[in-house]
Amino acid sequence: MISPARRTAYEVLLRVFEQEAYADRAFRSSAEGLDERERAFAQRLAYGSVQRVRALDHAIETLGRRPARKLDPPVRAALRLGAYQLGYTDTAPHAAVNESVELVRRARLERAVPFTNAVLRRLAEGIRPLLQSLPDGPLKESYPDWIHEVFVHVLGVEGALALMRAMNEPLETSLRLVRGEPPPGSEATDVPGAYRVERVDEALVTGGRIWPQSRGSQLAGLCVGAREGDRVLDLCAAPGGKAGQLRGEVTAVEIDPARARELRENLATMGRRDVTVVEADGTALPLELHGFDRVLVDAPCSGLGVLSQRPDLRWRATPLPDLQLALLRSAAERVRPGGTIVYSVCTLDPDECEAVVDATGMRVLPLADEWPAFAHPSRPEFLLTLPHVHGTSGFFVARLAVE
């Protein structure tokens, strides 16, 4: 007998690592029909196994004495799932071992059952001491070396370690109050309009009262400073959390038709039918989009500040400085003289943050006086939210003058 939660987590592991699926989408479809308790357990197993896969494979290879890449995909997924439970949860060892073995049997790989069973029993005895003996760093915390190097460059060795540990755990759950009173039990934060909650009430989201959005994300939207009467452009607007914050006459641009549809739906849910959605490439905007007072460029990026929320992203992240610079230059052409651009990215990589801003040659309007708690540690004219310091997703924010 295999529990529905373990079956779901196993399917997510197969789809993420063998079919290049996104973890959140794979989980959403695989978890259909689970009750709330099973769903929460399945998500913990699935996301935890995906996040920790580097350390898990090290343990499997060390104790199983066979390279993980040479294993049949169902065996590899079952071993990773079992290893995660044995190494990082309080799951009863016999349940982790027996159900992982049964997953291999159900995959019609009877010949691999004795091997799977033997490796899992070695893991049950040895994985915790093995993991504890690893030196602090990217293998132990299960990150690619290049991401660790970026974090060390920004924060130093100890700061990088604290950041990696923070993003291996769930961060706070926060929301933006769209209208009405804050939800019962919510806690006001240091970002106006942002509230910390134990869980998001989906009925309040559907009713347009609240919107799930991290404090880091909301901070970026607030830095735009949009007011009634302003003409405002959101250049990379989907899924719409920040676009829904902006006041004035707002135009929201999105290149992907499916995401543009999602953007329209989300804005309607928030009661923002006054926002004009345009399907276009932010680097090649229609000529009629010009003369804006304020532009938000919340650019695509490597996402190194949101690795807690997106467990598979650390294994597929790619810096995008060329695209980011192109978007900023495009924005600069569409702002009236005296207008401003806010550039934000959910990453901490300097090549996508301060280096992109520096490459524009535009004048920086310092933000630290307005938001001293979030001042960038080495470039205080910018903002940088840090998961291990602020408890929210990592965002870089800069405000630029168009002259």
Domain match, 76 and 222 both: no
For residues 380-401, give the mean pLDDT.
98
Domain match, 271 and 360 both: yes
**What DSSP state is assigned to residue 190?**
S
Nearest to 400 by CA among 358, 327, 342, 337: 342
Domain match, 35 and 126 both: yes
Instruction: Examine residue 234 and state whether it is found in any structural domain, yes or no.
Output: yes
Confidence category of residue 206, pLDDT binned at 50, 70, 90? very high
Classify burial at 363, counting beta carbons within 10 Å of its beta carbon; exposed 0-12, middle 13-18, buried 19 or more.
exposed
Helix (H, G, I), strand (E, B) or coil at 165: helix
**228-278 pLDDT tens trace:** 999 999 999 999 999 999 999 999 999 999 999 999 999 999 999 999 999
Instruction: Examine residue 151 and state whether it is found in any structural domain, yes or no.
Output: no
Domain match, 105 and 230 both: no
- State yes or no: pLDDT of 75 exceeds 90: yes
Instruction: Examine residue 209 and state whether it is found in any structural domain, yes or no.
Output: no
Domain match, 233 and 107 both: no
Nearest to 383 by CA among 254, 238, 250, 220: 220
**What DSSP state is assigned to residue 68?**
G
Confidence category of residue 100, pLDDT binned at 50, 70, 90? very high
Classify burial at 179, counting beta carbons within 10 Å of its beta carbon; exposed 0-12, middle 13-18, buried 19 or more.
exposed
**280-293 pLDDT tens trace:** 999 999 999 999 99
| Residue range of the domain that includes 43 | 4-134
* CA angle, residues 389, 394, 400, in degrees to nearest 5: 115
Confidence category of residue 360, pLDDT binned at 50, 70, 90? very high
The CATH number of whichever domain residue 39 belongs to comes to: 1.10.940.10
The CATH number of whichever domain residue 383 belongs to comes to: 3.40.50.150
Does the annotation mark 236 as catalytic?
A: no
For the chain, the domain total comes to: 2
Amino acid at 59: A
87 to each of 48, 74, 171, 350, how far by Cα in Å? 11, 20, 21, 34
Instruction: Examine residue 189 and state whether it is found in any structural domain, yes or no.
Output: no
pTM of the model: 0.95
For residues 90-107, give the mean pLDDT.
95
**232-241 pLDDT tens trace:** 999 999 999 9
Domain match, 123 and 253 both: no
Q: Which of 223, 236, 346, 353 is catalytic?
A: 346
Nearest to 284 by CA among 342, 345, 320, 334: 334
Domain match, 226 and 128 both: no
Domain match, 128 and 218 both: no
